[in-house]
Amino acid sequence: MGVRGRFPKEEKPIKQVKISLHKQLTLQATKWLRKHERNISIPNCPFIASEWLTYTLTGEMPDVIGWCNWTSVLIEVKVGRGDFLADAKKPFRKIAKEGMGNNAEAAKTDMLEAMNFHKETCIEEGLPYPDFLNEPFEINYTFDTKSLLEYYNGILSLSGLEKITGIHQKQLWNYLHTDTKPRRAQVEKIEQGLHSLGSELMSISL
């Protein structure tokens, strides 16, 4: 008389998943950003997203980005010179031409500082950068209507803008102080009025 039973299943070996150095550093950065010795410059961030959860309009995936109640922190992980060379080939990395700030003047300053930093870093690392950064150059700025009116507020009065644009100053006040967005025809009136004023000023001799 025999005993019925089952042969034990042969255990399959657990596959060892190799994690790249970049992934390891990204995980460490995520853990560190969540809780570390807090300081004023880099706070602990309770809300964090890592590279597989983030995506931007440019196609860039930040390695780690965290938020707290008053700021955000972004960490980019680089494991070697090859990472910097590959990063430099991205279209939005070829020249730092965008700035950030609470107003237009702050954004312009930030943009110029970023361009200078881009050039200095490329020189130190032996990386290529646009030739025009070695020569004097001009920058064409694109404003939204509200930012433009804020930038020239105190220099050009709303009554003065009314005279050169043909748009009633009450409507201009709405563009300046509310989220009201002008129609394209109104935008063109403002643009043409300012260009006309600029041409007149350029022709003045004292």
- Identify whether 15 is part of a domain: no
Co-location of 40 and 88 in the same domain: no
Co-location of 181 and 149 in the same domain: yes
Is a pLDDT exceeding 60 seen at residue 58? no
Instruction: Please give the pLDDT value at position 57.
Output: 54
Into how many domains does the chain fold?
A: 3
- Identify whether 27 is part of a domain: yes
More confident residue, 192 or 50: 192
Instruction: Please give the pLDDT value at position 62.
Output: 79
- Identify whether 188 is part of a domain: yes
Cβ neighbours, 10 Å, residue 90: 11
More confident residue, 152 or 17: 152
Q: Which domain holds residue 104?
A: 81-140
Instruction: Please give the pLDDT value at position 95.
Output: 54
Co-location of 109 and 157 in the same domain: no
- Identify whether 93 is part of a domain: yes
Is a pLDDT exceeding 60 seen at residue 38? yes
Co-location of 44 and 64 in the same domain: yes
Domain final residue, candidates 98, 113, 140: 140
Is a pLDDT exceeding 70 seen at residue 100? no
Is a pLDDT exceeding 80 seen at residue 16? no
More confident residue, 136 or 189: 189
Co-location of 31 and 44 in the same domain: yes
Co-location of 88 and 134 in the same domain: yes
Instruction: Please give the pLDDT value at position 81.
Output: 72
- Identify whether 14 is part of a domain: no
Give the residue-averaged pLDDT of 124-135. 80
Instruction: Please give the pLDDT value at position 5.
Output: 55
Domain final residue, candidates 140, 157, 175: 140
- Identify whether 72 is part of a domain: yes
Domain final residue, candidates 125, 140, 155: 140
- Identify whether 189 is part of a domain: yes
Stretch among 59-73, 92-106, 191-205 having the lowest mean pLDDT? 92-106
Instruction: Please give the pLDDT value at position 168.
Output: 94
Q: Which residue has the tokens 């570390």?
A: 36
- Identify whether 2 is part of a domain: no
Co-location of 69 and 112 in the same domain: no
Average pLDDT, the chain: 79
Is a pLDDT exceeding 60 seen at residue 97? no
